């Protein structure tokens, strides 16, 4: 028997993990339904300084989107997994077409009086080459975004 394997170029995912002093339920809620409290819209959004909020709808098929001060919306993705309070995943394509979508999965695991939140951003090889090149920028960008999440979690502690 001959085995044929794919030679598709797999681009390593961006993986970030932080420990915060919240319950799993509170950490999940802060990341999802309370995301507009901490997401750095001025630097990490389509509308920039004119973005007023962002939202992650809590169900499979729900939208992840931002709102402009004039109420226009820009969709960033769609929820693909909704398993509160342990896991959420969504397609991710802010400012791009659905064809250039990646996937973000966020898990929440109890750990020594707090929770370990791990974010995995994968699927770069399915994007057009110009967006594949953005992977390293997202590696740095998620540090800033999750830093804001951790600050908000510490304030809630």
* pLDDT value of position 8: 59
Coil, strand, or helix at residue 51? strand
pLDDT band at 10 (very low <50, low <70, confident <90, very high): confident
8 A C-beta contact, residue 84 and residue 93? no
* pLDDT value of position 3: 54
Is the pLDDT at 116 greater than 80? The verdict is yes
H/E stretch holding 131 reads helix 129-132
Q: Of residues 69 and 126, which shows the higher confidence score?
A: 69
Is the pLDDT at 6 greater than 80? The verdict is no
- Across 123-138, average pLDDT: 86
25-29-35 Cα angle (round to 5)? 155
> Percent of the chain, pLDDT > 70?
95
* pLDDT value of position 44: 97
* Ordered structural domains, the chain, with CATH: 14-41+83-156 (3.30.530.20)
pLDDT band at 99 (very low <50, low <70, confident <90, very high): confident
DSSP state of 3: -
Name the burial class of residue 113, with classes exposed (0-12), middle (13-18) and buried (19+) by CB atoms within 10 angstroms of its CB. exposed
Task: For the chain, give the mean pLDDT.
Answer: 93
pLDDT band at 33 (very low <50, low <70, confident <90, very high): very high
* pLDDT value of position 95: 92
pLDDT band at 142 (very low <50, low <70, confident <90, very high): very high
- In whole angstroms, give the CA distance from residue 23 to residue 139: 26
């Amino acid at each position: 028997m001959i085995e044929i394997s794919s030679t598709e170029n797999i681009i390593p995912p961006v993986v970030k993990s932080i420990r915060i002093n919240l319950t799993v339920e509170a950490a999940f809620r802060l990341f999802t339904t309370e995301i507009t409290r901490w997401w750095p819209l001025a630097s990490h959004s389509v509308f920039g300084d004119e973005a007023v909020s962002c939202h992650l709808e809590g169900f499979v098929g729900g939208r992840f989107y931002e709102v402009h001060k004039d109420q226009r919306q820009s969709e960033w993705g769609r929820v693909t997994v909704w398993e509160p309070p342990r896991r959420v995943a969504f397609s991710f394509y802010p400012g791009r077409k659905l064809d250039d979508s990646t996937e973000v999965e966020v898990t929440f695991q109890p750990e020594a009086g707090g929770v370990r939140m791990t974010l995995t951003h994968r699927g770069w090889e399915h994007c057009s080459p110009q967006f594949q090149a953005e992977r390293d920028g997202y590696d740095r960008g998620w540090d800033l975004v999750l830093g804001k999440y951790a600050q908000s979690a510490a304030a809630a502690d």
